[in-house]
């Protein structure tokens, strides 16, 4: 696995499959595959959703774009969003779900259930 140093990646063009492979390599290199069971990953993800929620807790509604936030707060937000995403991707992978395929299918299903308005 090619190492990525912080600040060296712009995130452009990264795919769910790329992230999934990196997470698999990460777990293998630490002999953590035994801990990455569906239930453990789900609980870990829910824990990270809690940490994500704490960032917004007691702030009231916040403006889109978060322009009044400190850079450090936005960085923290990016980290917690990533933790949720990474556990979700790993959970899907461990469950044998192709998340990209499933998500695209779900968007199609949503469009049938909620037809667009005609302008």
Ligand X SMILES: Nc1ccn([C@H]2C[C@H](O)[C@@H](COP(=O)(O)OP(=O)(O)OP(=O)(O)O)O2)c(=O)n1
Summarize as ranges the residues that interact with ligand X (CB under 6 A): 26, 32, 35, 51, 83, 86
Q: Smallest distance from the beta carbon of 74 to ligand X, in angstroms?
A: 16
For residue 64, CA distances in Å to 27, 54, 67 come to 35, 18, 8
When the beta carbons of 81 and 104 are compared against ligand X, the nearer one is: 81
When the beta carbons of 86 and 92 are compared against ligand X, the nearer one is: 86
Q: Smallest distance from the beta carbon of 69 to ligand X, in angstroms?
A: 18
When the beta carbons of 86 and 94 are compared against ligand X, the nearer one is: 86
When the beta carbons of 83 and 98 are compared against ligand X, the nearer one is: 83
Q: Smallest distance from the beta carbon of 85 to ligand X, in angstroms?
A: 9
Judging by beta carbons within 10 Å of its beta carbon (0-12, 13-18, 19+), is residue 93 exposed, middle or buried? buried
Quick one: DSSP state of residue 80?
Answer: H
Helix (H) or strand (E) segment spanning residue 110: helix 99-113
CA distance 4 to 37: 26
Q: Smallest distance from the beta carbon of 27 to ligand X, in angstroms?
A: 6
């Amino acid at each position: 696995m090619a190492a990525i140093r912080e600040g060296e990646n712009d995130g452009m063009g990264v795919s769910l499959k790329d992230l999934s492979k990196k997470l698999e390599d990460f777990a293998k290199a630490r002999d953590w595959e035994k801990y990455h069971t569906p239930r453990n990953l789900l609980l870990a993800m829910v824990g990270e959703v809690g940490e994500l929620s704490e960032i917004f807790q007691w702030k009231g509604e916040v403006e889109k774009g978060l322009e009044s936030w400190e850079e450090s707060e936005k960085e923290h937000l990016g980290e917690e969003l990533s933790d949720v995403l990474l556990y979700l991707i790993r959970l899907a992978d461990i469950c044998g779900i192709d998340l990209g395929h499933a998500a695209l299918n779900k968007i199609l299903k949503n469009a049938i259930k909620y037809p667009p308005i005609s302008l």
